[in-house]
Chain A
Amino acid sequence: MAVADPSCRLVVVGASLAGLRAVEAARKAGFEGEIVLIGKEDHLPYDRPPLSKAFLGVADESGVLPEPTYFRTEETLRDELDVDVRLGVAATGLDTVGRTVHLGAETVRYDLLVIATGAHPRLIPGAEGLDGVYPLRTLDDSLAVRAKLEEGARTVVIGAGFIGSEVASTARKRGLDATIIEALPTPLVRATGRDMGAAIASLHEKNGTALRCGAGVASIEGNGKVERVVLDDGTVVEADLVVVGIGVVPSVDWLAGSGLMLDNGIVCDENLWTGVPGVYAAGDVASWVNPTLGQRQRMENWTAAAEQGAAAARNALDPENAKPYGTVPYFWSDWYDVRIQFVGSPEADEVLLVDGDPDEGKRWVALYRRGDRLIGALTVNGQTEIMKYRVMIMKGAGWAEALEFADKRRAAHAEKLAAAGVS
């Protein structure tokens, strides 16, 4: 077994959350061989969710802007985890026969490989080189966006997904004008289904953000720096900052010709194994079979990245005892003063509102049915509800059971409100 073999070398490509967790899990499992961690960005592994949330916020009373959250110091990585960290270096190729990763002219030999190269944002062609137009994926992106917000930028967000919505929300919190332009008639359909997508999107208008759905972008214009976004119907929206949040593409270009199967990411089995000896994948780049929901998926969320990184490393080190990685997917998003949480899958036969009312309040709970099974749950400011449904989905709970539970929870919540004197 590789764990006990000090001559075995583990290479992890991708130095964000999944890559870091792979390294940590290998050491925790007792792996004594060499570990090389390769990261394209210059930064030590850092936490991405805050980049579109708290990190964009205003300075505190002493004038200090929010600091980035680095997961580990350089010393911890090098000395405690004994990792050879190579930052600012992009992997450019993979030779699965010779077992080497190419970093430009340099090659790095591996015995075991965990690929966690993540995903990169889709961009809008034609806006290259215009100051003030950014995607939001990296720390550098977020710093650039924040600098414009600090200047009081009129903000236009392209794409009403979660990242873009969080940026718009932050701009509004700073008292700035914010407009969201969405190509589809309803936002967030892929993530939460049509009805709930519309319900959540209504939060924008309630909070003073203009939301234009079914609107295509004709051009992003300016002289050196961005000045306006022109829509397909000729509408002009003035802008000092344009954030492009139209989704991401798995970062697999460097794997062309490697022999790995690529189809919306790296195709893996339920153990996160690519089918090529010693090669595993984790995080946003991995398309794997999720046994908990019984479907092939590629996740783009924190929890999956963290857990898959660790699971891929453990399975790489001990393939004979490999364990399938199963999960009930979870993501959250913070807009205005609302926390949106989703567990499970939005691909459902029915979506039922079981508590609250999107039209009236800032709190509601919706359940998702597939066949006779509970397959998903969405809460808006329902922090005390959401994880109870995650547990039910994990256990494969039936729809009837979920509805019965929802009834009890609704009654309990109503009672609590009554006791507190809220009607």
Chain B
Amino acid sequence: MKCVVDFEKCTGLGICESLAPEFFEVNDDGDLLLLKEDITDAELQEVEEAVAGCPTEALSIER
């Protein structure tokens, strides 16, 4: 499974970083960095929470 960011929609609000900090980090300029793409079964729940928590619906999981 892969984590996908739609950078057109993302405005760097950062909720994803607080829910799954190994995957997401907002940089100094306010842009989102995707730190890694591949999601293990153990990490799925936190990434799902990040997807659900994104106010701009910019995140998805490619299965």
A: residues with CB less than 8 A from B are 21, 47, 49, 71, 302-303, 306-307, 310, 328, 330, 332, 339, 341, 343, 381, 383-384, 386-388, 390-391, 394, 413, 416
Task: From B14, B21, B25, B27, give the contact of A341 (CB < 8 A).
Answer: B14
| CB proximity of B3 to chain A, nearest CB, Å | 16
B55 near A383: Cβ-Cβ < 8 Å: no
| Contact call B26/A384, Cβ cutoff below 8 A | yes
- A339 pairs with B15, CB closer than 8 A: no
Select one of A330, A394, A413 contacting B15, CB under 8 A: A330
Question: Does B55 contact A302, Cβ atoms closer than 8 Å?
Answer: yes
Most chain A CB inside 10 Å of its own CB: which residue of B14, B28, B55:
B14
Q: A339-B30, A416-B28 are in contact. Are A387 and B15 (CB under 8 A)?
A: yes
Given contacts A303-B15, A332-B13, A339-B30, contact A384 B55 (CB under 8 A): no
Chain B 15-57 near chain A by CB (<8 Å), digits 1 or 0? 1011001000111111000000000000000000000110101
Cross-chain contact B30 with A383 (CB below 8 angstroms): yes
Do B26 and A387 touch across chains, with their CB atoms under 8 A apart? yes
- Assembly CA distance A330 to B55 (angstroms): 11
- What class of interface size applies to chain B in its complex with A? 10 to 19
Q: Name the B residues within 8 Å of A306 (CB-CB).
A: 52-53, 55
Residues of B within 8 A of A (CB): 12-15, 17-18, 21, 25-30, 52-53, 55, 57
Are A390 and B27 in contact, with the CB atoms below 8 A?
no
Tell me if A310 and B52 are in contact (CB < 8 A). Answer: yes
Q: Is the CB of A387 within 8 A of B17?
A: yes
By a CB distance below 8 angstroms, the chain B residues around A341 are: 13-14
8 contacts between A and B (CB under 8 A): A303-B53, A330-B18, A339-B30, A343-B18, A381-B30, A383-B27, A386-B14, A388-B21
Considering only CB atoms, which chain A residue lies closest to B24 in the complex?
A387
CB-CB < 8 A to A49: which residues of B?
55
Known: A339-B30, A416-B28. A387 touches B14 (CB 8 A): yes
A391 to B24, CA, bound (A): 13
Q: How far is the CA of A49 from the CA of B21 in the complex (A)?
A: 24
Lowest 5 A-B CB distances belong to which pairs?
A: A387-B17, A390-B18, A383-B30, A387-B18, A387-B14
Closest A residue to B14 using CB positions: A387
Q: Which residue of B is nearest A363, CB measured? A: B28
Q: Is the CB of A394 within 8 A of B18?
A: yes
Neighbouring A residues of B28 by C-beta, 8 Å:
383-384, 413, 416
On whether the beta carbons of A383 and B12 are closer than 8 Å, the reply is: yes
In the bound assembly, the distance between CA atoms of A381 and B29 in angstroms comes to 8
When the two chains form their complex, are residues A303 and B55 in contact, meaning their CB atoms are under 8 A apart? Answer: yes
* A383 touching B15, Cβ below 8 Å: no
Query: When chains A and B are docked, how far (Å) is the Cα of A303 from the Cα of B13?
Result: 11
Residues on A with beta carbons closer than 8 Å to the beta carbon of B12? 383
Residues of A with C-beta under 8 A to B21: 387-388, 391
Q: A306-B52, A330-B18, A416-B28 are in contact. List 11 more A-B contacts (CB 8 A).
A: A47-B55, A71-B57, A303-B53, A383-B12, A383-B26, A383-B29, A384-B27, A387-B21, A388-B17, A394-B18, A413-B28
Residue contact B25 to A384, C-beta cutoff 8 Å: yes
Give the Cβ gap from B29 to chain A, nearest Cβ, in Å.
Answer: 8
Bound Cα distance A339, B15 (Å): 14
Q: How far is the CB of B44 from chain A (nearest CB, A)?
A: 14
A307 contacts B53, C-beta separation under 8 Å: yes
**A-chain residues with CB within 8 Å of residue B14 when the two chains form the complex:** 341, 383, 386-387
Residue of A nearest to B30 (CB): A383
Interchain nearest-CB distance for B47 vs A (Å): 15
Give the CA-CA distance A21 to B55 in the complex, in Å.
12
- Contact partners of A388 in chain B: CB under 8 A: 17, 21
Residues in A whose Cβ lies below 8 Å from that of B15? 303, 330, 387
